[in-house]
Amino acid sequence: MALQPLLLHLAFLRLGTTGPLVQGRGFGSQTVAWPSFFDFNWPQEVQETIQIPNNGSAPLLVDVQVFVSNVFNVDILRYTLSSMLLLRLSWLDTRLAWNTSVHPQHAVTLPWDSLWTPGLTIQEALWVDWQDQSPRARVDPDGHVNLYLALTTETNCDFELLHFPRDQSDCNLSFYALSNTVLELEFRARAVNEIVSVKREYVVQDLKTQVPPQQLVPCFQVTLRLQNTALKAVIALLVPGEALLLADMCGGLLPLRATERITYKVTLLLGYLVFHSSLVQALPSSSSCNPLLIYYFTVLLLLLSVSTMETVLLAALQAGGILSPAPKGEQQDRGDPGPHPAEAPGVKGSRRSWAEAADHIFFLVYVVGVVCSQFFFIGFWMWATCKSDPAPGKAIPHGGQPRL
């Protein structure tokens, strides 16, 4: 029965029922499970919502520890990611302190809606699933309160995909206490990386927290730095593209007069068109700083198209006799199938048509152009930078006046 006077003391301190603790799916108000010896016929002022603890002229300091246990479902097409977090909130409420000589309890646990708790809203969240619908706060004899909140959330993230699939992005989770002001409440946050699984396409390279300056509402921000492992994209995108380009260059070694060469080139071009259409669906689009791979594969498509058109045009011109006229000896005497000894030394040179010579020159230029384009793209990949356009809300701090 030593706990009964303590609970009576907490009740007289206006530990009434509060509103929802957080903004999220499936986390509504809970009814306080008071002991049976409580009289619920308290005056109305006792059951009012409790106010934030008074810390004098300074704002109430709330320490926040963010434990990140998992990051999954990174979707670059929707610009979203899912994460599992554990929040540890601690603050001092001297109104909840008690004398241990009178009440020897080392700590008590109370329902979250029986005392003041900071209401948190994640700005970037599409949905929030709080795993414990009725968390309990631990109160120490000196009035220190500790509250643990476990959640799973899906949030928006502005991925920087210029260097996809070797991209690196910073994703923010901004927690706001919209029911208080910076004069009443202040956060001091730090993050702990507890991710133990590395079998992900995107891995968390760094984790940090900060308190954004010049805010009218108390807030803290958790930043996840994600690194793409690139293995899947290299196997699925880069290797097939390079293989098709190499096969096209090898197709230039076939003789121009062989009908299989046109079939070979057209088949490669059609296959690459199918590959390119699936590639467009696999890569995200953006208003700025699109992935360099989009431009790279477009250049490959142009190279394959030029190579195919060159083969078709030269083969057509050669078949029509425009660039490969018959030797003069054959034009004067087509009925004499016998050899012409006077032309024997120059037979080999006469058989090499102008179309074959042009095709040989184009093949050399094409190979040099392809090799140079690969080195140019590697250098451009390493040194190219792009700064995304600022978001419309970045120019105005949170709570600023709207512009008409």
Q: For 217-262, what is each residue's pLDDT tens digit?
A: 999 999 999 999 888 778 888 888 899 999 999 999 998 888 899 9
Q: Quick one: 206 and 295 in the same domain? A: no
Q: Quick one: 214 and 293 in the same domain? A: no
Q: Is residue 2 part of a domain?
A: no
Give the whole-number percent of the chain exceeding pLDDT 90. Answer: 48
Given 193, 213, 228, the domain boundary residue is 228
Alpha carbon distances (Å) from 258 to 108, 165, 253: 89, 40, 11
Q: Quick one: 218 and 255 in the same domain? A: no
Q: Is residue 287 part of a domain?
A: yes
Domain count, the chain: 2
Q: Quick one: 176 and 236 in the same domain? A: no
- Specify which residues 353 forms β-bridges with: none
Q: Quick one: 202 and 263 in the same domain? A: no
Q: How far apart are CA 80 and CA 126, in angstroms?
A: 9
Q: How far apart are CA 61 and CA 318, in angstroms?
A: 85
Examine the pLDDT at 49 and tell me if it is beyond 60: no
Q: Is residue 34 part of a domain?
A: no
pLDDT band at 1 (very low <50, low <70, confident <90, very high): very low
Examine the pLDDT at 317 and tell me if it is beyond 70: yes
The alpha-carbon radius of gyration of the chain (Å, integer) is: 36
Examine the pLDDT at 87 and tell me if it is beyond 80: yes
Domain limits for position 64: 60-228
> Where is pLDDT greater, at 321 or 57?
57
Q: Quick one: 205 and 295 in the same domain? A: no
Amino acid at 208: K
Tell me, what's the pLDDT at 330?
47
206-61-126 Cα angle (round to 5):
50
| pLDDT tens, position by position, 372-401 | 999 999 999 889 888 877 766 665 555 444
Given 176, 193, 228, the domain boundary residue is 228
Q: Quick one: 124 and 261 in the same domain? A: no
Average of per-residue pLDDT across 37-53: 49
Average of per-residue pLDDT across 316-325: 65
What's the CATH code of the domain at 126?
2.70.170.10
CB atoms within 10 A of CB 80: 17
What's the CATH code of the domain at 317?
1.20.58
| pLDDT tens, position by position, 327-353 | 544 444 444 444 444 444 444 344 457
> Where is pLDDT greater, at 71 or 232?
71
Tell me, what's the pLDDT at 393?
64
Q: How far apart are CA 372 and CA 378, in angstroms?
A: 10
Q: Is the pTM of this model over 0.85?
A: no
